[in-house]
Amino acid sequence: MATPPPADGEADIGAINEILGFHIRLAHGACLRHFTETFTDLDLTQKQVSVLWLVDDHPGIAQTDLAQRLRMDRATTMAIINRLQAKHFLRRDRSDKDGRKQALFLEPAGVAMLARAKQAIGEHEAWVKSRFSDKEVKLLIDLLSRIHE
């Protein structure tokens, strides 16, 4: 249903349902909720998984680069990195090229956790994608990409 629960049998074709941003927020909320349930055992958040994934794809990546890729503030990035470091999932190394930068690398525990996380993400994605055909998934990704480009 476009609006969550019409509650009664009222018409309820309120203009708020025609607001694109409204649907983006609800869809995001639904995804976040399911993600959280899927990851309760692993005790990881969406952002944390994204960071582990990107550090694995780009060993030695700097915090600033991470922040840009995930559209985060530097301070926000710090908070996430701190939590992951406290769990020994990654480490900070001083960059050789630029003394200001910290090069990030996954620790063994981080590699192991990422492997488990990717499997959980597979389940989570299957839940989301079950509503769509392959063609629709590609279309949706294309449309959403135009927003966050």
The residues that touch a copy of itself, with contacts defined as CB under 8 A, are 1-5, 7, 12, 14, 16, 18-33, 35, 46, 50, 53-54, 57, 65, 68-71, 121, 124-125, 128-129, 131-132, 136-137, 139-141, 143-149
Which partner from the list DNA, a copy of itself, none does 102 bind, CB cut-off 5 to 8 Å by kind?
A: DNA
Binding flag, residue 69, DNA (CB under 7 A): no
Q: What b-and-e string marks burial along 79-102, b requiring 16 or more CB atoms within 10 Å of the CB? A: ebbeebeeeebbeeeeeeeeeebb
Question: Per DSSP, what are the bridge partners of residue 90?
Answer: 106
Does residue 38 belong to the site contacting DNA (CB under 7 A)? no
> How far does CA 60 lie from the centroid of its chain?
20
Q: How many distinct helices (H) and strands (E) make up the chain?
A: 6, 2
- Residue 41 or residue 134: which is nearer to DNA going by CB? 41
Which of residues 42 and 128 has its CB atom nearest to a copy of itself in the complex?
128
The site partner of 105 among a copy of itself, DNA, none (C-beta below 5 to 8 Å per kind) is: none
Residues 6+ apart with CB under 8 A from 32: 46
Three-state DSSP class for 76?
A: helix
Residues forming contacts to DNA in the complex (CB under 7 A) are: 29, 32-33, 36, 43, 45-48, 62-64, 67, 70, 72-76, 78-83, 92, 98-102
